[in-house]
Structure 1
Amino acid sequence: MTPLRFTPIGSFFELANDDLVRDVAEIPWQQPDTSLAYLQSGQQALRACASYLSEVEGRDIVVVPEFACDSMLAPFPQAEWTLVSFPVDASLRPDTHALSTIISQHERCVVLTMAYFGAAPDSEHIATLQILQAKGARVIEDETHRVLTASTRPIGDVAVASLRKTIPVPDGAYLRGVLAPAILEHSAPEGPRSHPGWEAMEAKSAGDLERAGELFTQSDRALSQLEPALLSPRTLEALSRLSHRQLANRRTSNAEALRSALPVNHEILVEASVPSHLPLRVDEPRAMQQALAKQAIYCPIHWPRPPRLAEASFPCDLISLPIDHRYNRADMSRIGTAVRELVNA
């Protein structure tokens, strides 16, 4: 193994440290009055929703925000679904007027919505979705960016979330809400499919980054299968023992520290109590991503434009800075310094 000049920040998770593990932990998205089911990936959860709504309810139009990733769209194949998009504003909030206009033309459609980067849906967002449901639309709310604050009843008919984006597990997704039992019964998921995700996390914890990366790529490929499968017992046990409150607190603390360390004139796009990342608008996100990677700071770009949204007003100027539970104020200072140097170069 080649010695590292910098301690890496970002990329996929290693195993959670012991201080984040409890005998029993409260799971924020698990509510006593809300039906809940687990699958292996967020794409599988969306595919299960799409299959039920198509095959049982006869729906074939999906309305999506103009800011979405390919993995949100893939479960609605072009051969089966007509895709219609609605705009989001500069702060990534849905244009509710445009959305309402679209629904008036396609009342029996499926609406896929999302509050980005940990932000909570505002009252206008919630009220609009209730109106759309009353008109006959089905609403799927993607909660992936805010699983650590998903402590209330889900918005819409069903909520889905991919867990490995913010929780230190290699796989996992949930379906929750009034439609979840019917969707799960219809999808009849297979038992857990094998993948080397846990081995990738173990290798990263041991410092073998090359092997970890290879295993993660293999795992990612296995999890890209759309046909639903059940969550593995090891992941389910991990979810039940992680301190989700500590995960949330560290994100909040790191976000505050990184805000203070960034250039004052940099626009932080979304304010959230528990952010998934700290998204910035920058002129050249790909160039900044590559420059930060040379300092072992690995930042995702949300998102490459999907081909099916080629004509959409898609934001292409975002880079997301990592703020998760693995880091502290010193790490946030390091990110802030690196960003400042690149901005001032």
Structure 2
Amino acid sequence: MKSIGGYLELQLLNGHEYYPTLLKLNTGRNALEYILKVKGYTSVYIPYFTCEVILEPLKKLGIQYQFYTIDDKMDPILDFKVGPAECILYTNYFGLKQDSILELSKQFQNLIIDNSQAFFSEPQENVDTFYSCRKFFGVPDGAYLHTTSKVKLKLEKDISIDRISHLVKSIDLGIENGYQDYLENNIMLSNNPIRKMSSLTQKLLSGTDYKECKYRRNSNFMYLHDFLLKYNDYTFDASSINGPMVYPFLHSSSLIKKKLLEKRIYVATYWPNVFDWTTKKMYENYLTAHLISLPIDHRYSHIDMKRIINVLKNLL
């Protein structure tokens, strides 16, 4: 029975989730584990260029995996065959690879799409697809899952209260002062059982202005692209961007990341574990070392993008 009275609780906006009909889970890696469980796959092909947390559900379930390589468009090099009990996992890199997903869906029945970097990319009806909410919004955890399986797992609801300190500190103390808590939160998310999305995370997501978030990402992305296009070694079609995660700027210089960090412009490295999986001759190794993921999310305006450009002008 709902309580009446007492102290006033944290007040959040009442709105709607972006994917109200999808399964609501606690983490992206657990969404992948959910797919693997209900589909019964025995082996998975995964890209060298991906986050190491992808291995967590594979090891937990004892599923074999093999790596595959990508080309300079970040498309998979398909020099292998996928058996009936096997599947291929492909990442929608930075939210820019929807056309590649359409082509892959025509070639492979057993396809899983990792949309952790592509929150606004709608899932294909016949393709298992999962999302990680905290990559795009200020939430402690949360994932969405679209699956073609009719099998439904019975799950308990997660609790997120112990994972929110970095978000609160960023408001009162600045993002640098919450960074250690953020790292600790990442550790807490490891090796958790599959659970339903927590009430806290779902409430936060329901109060998000998705239209504004997507608009701002698109606008900031194109602002950077207009300047960086001629310098970018990674070529892509920007005509149909859909709320991308970051602006992927590939350059041979090894000094740019350092200079940006000195100016308090924080760029993530996707992904350090790739260095352990690859040799220096491999394209994925080069990507990890030289891809500069410039922030373009809804927190920022063109004024912030101009600041990034001003730093880059002196380095290019």
Which residue, 88, 105, 112 being the options, matches 1:111?
88
Q: Can you list the C-alpha shifts for 1:256-308, whole angstroms capped at 9, x where unaligned?
A: 112234373233544333221001112245x4323211110000112224477
Give the Å deviation of 1:126. Answer: 2.5
Indicate the residue corresponding to 2:121 in structure 1: 149
Indicate the residue corresponding to 1:288 in structure 2: 256
Contact 2:161 2:200 in 1 (8 A): no
Does 1:273 pair with 2:245? no
Does 1:243 pair with 2:209? yes
Q: Can you list the C-alpha shifts for 1:1-44, whole angstroms capped at 9, x where unaligned?
A: xxxxxxxxxxxxxxxxx9xx8642361x345xxxx211211112
Give the Å deviation of 1:200. Answer: 1.5
Contact 1:266 1:281 in 2 (8 A): yes
Give the Å deviation of 1:221. Answer: 1.3
Looking at structure 1, the residues matched to 187 and 81 of structure 2 have their Cα atoms a distance apart, in angstroms, of 35
Looking at structure 1, the residues matched to 293 and 46 of structure 2 have their Cα atoms a distance apart, in angstroms, of 22
Indicate the residue corresponding to 1:160 in structure 2: 130
Indicate the residue corresponding to 2:16 in structure 1: 25
Which residue, 49, 69, 76 being the options, matches 2:58?
76
- 1:225/1:211 CA distance change after superposition, 3 Å: farther
Contact 2:72 2:234 in 1 (8 A): no
Under a length normalisation based on structure 2, what TM-score does the superposition of the two structures give? 0.83
- Answer with 219-228 or 235-244: which moved more: 219-228
Give the Å deviation of 1:115. Answer: 1.9
- 1:25/1:48 CA distance change after superposition, 3 Å: closer
One-letter amino acid matched to 1:299: V
Contact 2:159 2:199 in 1 (8 A): no
Gapped regions of structure 1 (runs ≥ 5): 1-17
One-letter amino acid matched to 1:126: L
Does 1:39 pair with 2:25? yes
Q: Can you list the C-alpha shifts for 1:85-132, whole angstroms capped at 9, x where unaligned?
A: 23322111223x43xx422xx33202111221112422x643443432
Which residue, 214, 218, 233 being the options, matches 2:199?
233
One-letter amino acid matched to 2:256: M
Contact 2:46 2:88 in 1 (8 A): yes
Gapped regions of structure 2 (runs ≥ 5): 1-10
Partner secondary structure for residue 118 of structure 2: helix
Q: Can you list the C-alpha shifts for 1:47-75, whole angstroms capped at 9, x where unaligned?
A: 2223344xxx3x32111123212122322
Does 1:191 pair with 2:157? yes
Indicate the residue corresponding to 1:4 in structure 2: none
Identical aligned residues as a percent = 23
- Answer with 297-306 or 311-320: which moved more: 311-320
Give the Å deviation of 1:141. Answer: 1.1
Looking at structure 2, the residues matched to 49 and 141 of structure 1 have their Cα atoms a distance apart, in angstroms, of 11
Looking at structure 1, the residues matched to 313 and 265 of structure 2 have their Cα atoms a distance apart, in angstroms, of 14
Aligned-pair Cα RMSD in Å:
2.7
Looking at structure 2, the residues matched to 155 and 116 of structure 1 have their Cα atoms a distance apart, in angstroms, of 20
Looking at structure 2, the residues matched to 23 and 206 of structure 1 have their Cα atoms a distance apart, in angstroms, of 23
Looking at structure 1, the residues matched to 314 and 126 of structure 2 have their Cα atoms a distance apart, in angstroms, of 42
Which residue, 225, 229, 232 being the options, matches 1:259?
225
Under a length normalisation based on structure 1, what TM-score does the superposition of the two structures give? 0.77
Contact 1:44 1:75 in 2 (8 A): yes
**Relative contact order, CA 8 A, sep 6+: which one is greater?**
1
Q: Can you list the C-alpha shifts for 1:313-338, whole angstroms capped at 9, x where unaligned?
A: 52332120000000001100111111
Looking at structure 2, the residues matched to 172 and 78 of structure 1 have their Cα atoms a distance apart, in angstroms, of 20
Which residue, 121, 132, 140 being the options, matches 2:108?
132
Looking at structure 2, the residues matched to 171 and 153 of structure 1 have their Cα atoms a distance apart, in angstroms, of 24
One-letter amino acid matched to 2:302: R
Give the Å deviation of 1:167. Answer: 2.0
Partner secondary structure for residue 75 of structure 1: helix
Does 1:297 pair with 2:265? yes
